[in-house]
Amino acid sequence: MEVYDDDLRKFESHGAAPLPPTNDQGYVEHEATRIWYTTCGSGPPVILLHGGLGHSGNWGYQVPALVMSGYRVVLIDSRGHGRSTRDARPFSYELMASDVLAVMDKLRLEKAALVGWSDGACTALILSVQAPSRVAGVFFFACNMDPSGVKPFEATPTLNRCFARHAKDYAELSATLEQFRDFVDAVTLMQRTQPNYSANDLAQISVPVAIVQNEHDEFIKREHAEFLAQTIPDAELIILKDVSHFAPLQRPEQFNTAMIAFITRTLL
């Protein structure tokens, strides 16, 4: 039976679905931080990168679908998020992309498909610029690549529920649970000022990319998604119906169908 959580009431109360049993988990020491990772399943590797303020458990509806489709899923908590630590440096997408590469090196992954949600999408696309030979393709969901792509912020009950869940998860997972407000401020500063990719920068991207937008995104302008799809060579534009920035939680089957179709084409 398909899961629906359009207003994120289930997510606020219980989080996403629990992750399945893992093959292994651990930390990678990189750039003065400890980056947490875990893997599930077997087959060609797919790395899932969560959004800002979240953690890998937010992918609970996607991991089983990927494992059942024959993929090895790699989950990474971005620096400062979930179980991963951070140092005193400001957050940056380039630094987080280098963390992903460090996990790939630890797991001896020559190449992987990347699925990114919000901040994770930006991190994934930047990694494709930093190390294109290591990236099979990027499923880029609900993010911008320059500040002009962001809508003015408007608080909504759905956003408030998501934030409440993030706060609870941070308190349960983080080694610095008393620093949640500082963490939010630091991530927000990154989101306001980064990334700053020009049309020329985007035109240099050489891996397969799906720009995935939704009908009701709270943060990202649809015309920006269309611009990305037109500017990145051979990128495709996918529009998800009746969902917002939280489609992987709201209507997982729709999200998973699009995600797995792209990954299957990419990893043939």
Reply yes or no on whether the pLDDT at 46 is more than 60. yes
Is 203 in a helix, a strand, or coil? helix
Q: Which of 120, 117, 116 is nearest to 138 (CA)?
A: 116
How many angstroms separate the CA atoms of 31 and 20, rounded?
Answer: 30
Measured CA to CA, the distance from residue 58 to residue 63 in angstroms comes to 10
Q: What integer best gives the mean pLDDT of the chain?
A: 97
In the predicted model, what is the mean pLDDT of residues 8-12? Answer: 97
Helix (H) and strand (E) counts for the chain? 10, 8
Bridge-based pairing state of the strands 72-76 and 33-40? antiparallel
Residue 267 · residue 260 · CB < 8 Å: no
> Confidence band (pLDDT; 50, 70, 90) for 1?
low
- CA 120 to each of CA 2, 23, 52, 127, 196: distance values in angstroms, whole numbers, following the listed order: 25, 23, 7, 10, 16
Give the model confidence (pLDDT) of 212-242 as tens digits.
999 999 999 999 999 999 999 999 999 999 9
Question: Is the pLDDT at 267 greater than 90, yes or no?
Answer: no
pLDDT tens digit sequence for 51-93: 999 999 999 999 999 999 999 999 999 999 999 999 999 999 9
Orientation angle between helical segments 180-193 and 119-130, nearest 10 degrees: 60
- Report d(CA 170, CA 163) in Å as an integer: 10
Say which residue the tokens 């790395």 belong to: 47
Q: Check the CA dihedral 27-29-33-39 and report its sign.
A: negative
The single-letter code of the amino acid at 115 is V
Rg of the Cα trace of the chain?
17
Res 2: pLDDT: 72
- Please, which residues bridge with residue 140 across strands? 116, 211
The model's pLDDT over 80-132, given as tens digits with 9 standing for 90+, comes to: 999 999 999 999 999 999 999 999 999 999 999 999 999 999 999 999 999 99
pTM: predicted TM-score of the whole model, two decimal places: 0.98
> Under DSSP, is residue 206 helix (H, G, I), strand (E, B) or coil?
coil
Residue 5 is encoded by which pair of tokens? 């959580």
